[in-house]
Structure formats: C-alpha cells, structure tokens
C-alpha cells in the first residue's frame, strides 16, 4: 500500500527550508527527489500477527501533524575542543565534501515514506567529526521541540583509532495546539579501529508521535555501541541498527522503555554481520502499565561471508496491568555455519511470589511493586557505561513509578 502525498506539502516549501540553511544544490536536489518519491513509498514495515498490525502508521494524520515552515527548537551542541560538533548549516560551510560523502550513505533517504519525508523537510541537525586518534568524551546534543513538527538529522563520522561518547536527548518545550510529530534520523560512520558509544534518551510529551531511525556502519575492528531509552511520546516507532562491515567489528545495543496510560512503543534492534569475526549483543527491557502497548522486533542477520560470528539477543517485557499488551519477535537469519548465536524473549507480569515475599515482610504492595520494577531494569542499567545517561534513565523510571 503506497501513501498519498499530503496536500499541504509543496516544492516551494522544501526550497524555502533549503534556502534558509543556505544549502548547496546537491542537497536541495536530494530533498526534491525525496519529496517526489513520497507518493510511491510505503510506511516502514511493522510487526503483524494474524488479523492485526501492531502499529498502524497509515492512520496518522500527517497533513495536520506536519507544519514544515514553522519548526522551532532550542538546541545545545557541546563537545570537547578536540572534536567538531556543528550544526548542519555550519558543517555545510566548513565540511561540505564530508557531509556530501556521508549524507544518505548509511540510511537511504527513500527507504520508506517517513525517511523521505524527513529528508525533504529536515530543518535542524548536528554533525560530529572526530579526527584520527582523538578520544572525545561528553559530546552532548539536547533538542527541545517548540513547534508542532520537527525534523532532526544527526551525522557522526569518526576517524581511525578514535573514540567518542555521544548523548542525545529529545524533549518538548513550549506548548502548541494539537498533537506533535518528531522525526529523527541518525547516521554513524565508525572508522577503522574506532570506538563509538551513542546514547539517546527520548522524553517527548504524550501528545507527540515519534519516528526515529538510527543506523551505523562499523569498519574494520570498530566498535559501535548504542543505548536507547524511550519514556515519552504517545506513539514511538524507533529502530537501532548496525551493519558490521569490517572484519573484527562489534556492536552492543541496549534498549529500555517504560510506557503508561495509552502509550505505544514499536521498537526494534537489528544487526547485520557482513564480515568475519564480528560480534553483536542486543539487550532490551521494557515495562508497561495501564493500557500501554509495545511490540519489539530483534533481527540478527549473519551473512555468507561472516565467518566466526558471535551474536546474542534477549528481550524482556514486564506488564504491570491486565490491560497492557506486548508482543516480541526475535529473529535469527543465519547463512554461515561458523556461527554462535542465540535469542530469547519473554513477556510476563510481576511475579506473585516475589510480591508476596516482600509484602509479608512489611513492605506495602505499591512499594514492593516499584522495587521490583526498578530491579527489573538493573541488568540494562548495568550495561550503560555512561554514568550521566544511567542516572537520567534511573530518575525517569523512578519518577514514572511515583506518579
């Protein structure tokens, strides 16, 4: 099923956005090509079970959600002196050839309707460039959305034998009439023998619809680690993905989400092993309360040339109410017999024996439940090496439990 181009989106609007950023002609053409492709593109794939699509993106009213010429935000982009942390406009001024080389090289702008919409309309972004041999800690990007819609783009390029720790946060600020739409694409090119840790913490308000796609390419002996935290939004469709292209490359994807009210989380972790001696570890934990819903897809795809592969995946969802719903779909695709791989997923409720044990020793039922939820997240929190990110996620979980 293709998606119809909404009537209030025009070529003139796209040209105006590009003109505001003083973009070169090649980038404007990328936008226009994406705009032209919209009517032929489908929405991203979603998990289906008999008689049900778990996430129905076709019902979203993008015509009213998207307000392309009135995007507003506050953004902090900070990093140590050794690296360059720039707005997309600054990067086009100072490093146009680098941006041209990498823009759309990891994520096809016309991969689906939402990536094309993002490419046509993005008005803000961050480019991080880490030179060869440089170790860069504490690169932070904070985006506060102050408009009905916002399209955000992030590009990270790391040189040989470098390392970088990047934290990116998305929140909402000024109130607007009606519902909101946030879109973010993240492309990471991890150079040979580099080490990248990228963390993202999404805490948009619950009038917001959120689509994010984060994907990285790992070169020879590179390590690309992701941390993904989703607490906010009304509906989130988020995917974190790594292509292990170089021999000896590794990735570790850690995810956590906590939904309540009628929040909906559609989250995915995917890895493609495309070279020898590659390693992946995917860990996700989620909690659902009230009428919240989640669907998880994990994919480990081992290619024919990916000899001596190690790939592991586990996902667990804890439901706190009878009205919440969850589904999980872990997948192994193995085309090489020299592989060690496993996957596991579980969906369940708070263990009654654990609750009974705690309440029988004087702990109130509510406190006991909260302690069990916080304990449930501990294996994920322990995987997060960045203390600031770990503390922020812990506090958001604790705040949600206090509500």
| Continuous segment of H or E residues that includes residue 97 | helix 96-102
pLDDT tens-digit series, residues 68-117? 899 999 999 999 999 999 999 999 999 999 999 999 999 999 999 999 99
Determine the Cα–Cα distance for residues 265 and 172; give it in Å rounded to an integer: 18
For 209, the enclosing helix (H) or strand (E) is strand 208-218
CA angle 271–275–280, rounded 5-degree value: 35
Q: Is residue 334 part of a domain?
A: yes
Q: Please state which of the ranges 47-51, 99-103, 235-239, 351-355 shows the lowest mean pLDDT.
A: 47-51
Sign of the dihedral through C-alpha 88, 186, 381, 351 = positive
Binned at pLDDT 50, 70 and 90, residue 51 comes out as: confident
User: Is 185 within the bounds of a domain?
Assistant: yes
Q: Is residue 344 part of a domain?
A: yes
Q: Is residue 106 part of a domain?
A: yes
Domain encompassing residue 93: 11-350
Q: Could you report the per-residue pLDDT of 128-138, keeping only the tens digit for each? A: 999 999 999 88
pLDDT given for residue 384 in this prediction: 85
In a domain, 43, yes or no: yes
pLDDT band at 53 (very low <50, low <70, confident <90, very high): confident
Domain membership flag for residue 396? no
Tens-place pLDDT, residues 190-235: 999 999 999 999 999 999 999 999 999 999 999 999 999 999 999 9
Exposure string for 57-66, b = 16+ CB within 10 A, e = fewer: beebebeebb
Domain assignment of residue 74, yes or no: yes
- Total domains in the chain come to 1
| Residue 100 domain flag | yes
> What span, in angstroms and rounded, lies between the C-alpha atoms of 84 and 209?
31
């Amino acid at each position: 099923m293709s998606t119809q181009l909404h009537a209030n989106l025009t070529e003139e609007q796209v040209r105006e956005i590009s003109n505001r950023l003083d973009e070169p002609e090649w980038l404007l053409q990328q936008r226009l090509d994406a705009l032209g492709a919209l009517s032929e593109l489908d929405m991203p794939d979603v998990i289906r079970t008999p008689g049900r699509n778990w996430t129905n993106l076709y019902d979203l009213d993008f015509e009213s959600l998207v307000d392309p010429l009135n995007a507003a935000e506050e953004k902090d982009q900070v990093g140590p002196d050794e690296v360059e942390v720039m707005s997309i406009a600054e990067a086009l001024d100072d490093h146009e050839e680098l941006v041209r080389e990498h823009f759309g090289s990891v994520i096809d702008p016309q991969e689906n309707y939402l990536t094309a919409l993002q490419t046509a309309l993005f008005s803000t972004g961050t480019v991080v460039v880490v030179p060869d041999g440089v170790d860069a800690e504490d690169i932070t990007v904070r985006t506060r959305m102050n408009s009905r819609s916002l399209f955000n783009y992030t590009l990270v390029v790391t040189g040989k034998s470098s390392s970088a720790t990047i934290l990116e946060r998305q929140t909402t600020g000024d109130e607007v009439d009606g519902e909101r739409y946030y879109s973010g694409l993240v492309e990471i090119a991890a150079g040979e023998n580099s080490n990248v840790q990228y963390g993202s913490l999404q805490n948009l308000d619950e009038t917001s619809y959120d689509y994010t796609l984060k994907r990285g390419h790992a070169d020879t002996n590179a390590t690309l680690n992701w941390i993904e935290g989703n607490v906010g939004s009304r509906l989130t469709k988020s995917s974190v993905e790594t292509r292990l292209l170089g021999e000896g490359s590794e990735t570790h994807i850690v995810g956590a989400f906590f939904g309540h009210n009628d929040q909906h989380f559609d989250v995915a972790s995917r890895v493609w092993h495309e070279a020898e001696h590659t390693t992946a570890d995917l860990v996700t934990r989620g909690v659902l309360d009230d009428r919240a819903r989640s669907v998880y897809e994990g994919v480990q795809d081992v290619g024919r040339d990916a000899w001596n592969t190690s790939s592991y995946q586990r996902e667990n969802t804890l439901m706190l109410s009878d009205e919440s719903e969850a589904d999980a779909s872990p997948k192994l695709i193995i085309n090489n017999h020299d592989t060690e791989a496993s996957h596991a997923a579980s969906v369940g409720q708070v263990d009654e024996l654990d609750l009974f044990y705690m309440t029988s020793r004087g702990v109130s039922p509510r406190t006991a439940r909260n302690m069990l939820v916080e304990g449930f997240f501990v294996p994920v929190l322990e995987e997060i090496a960045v203390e600031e990110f770990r503390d922020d996620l812990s506090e958001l979980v604790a705040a949600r439990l206090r509500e």
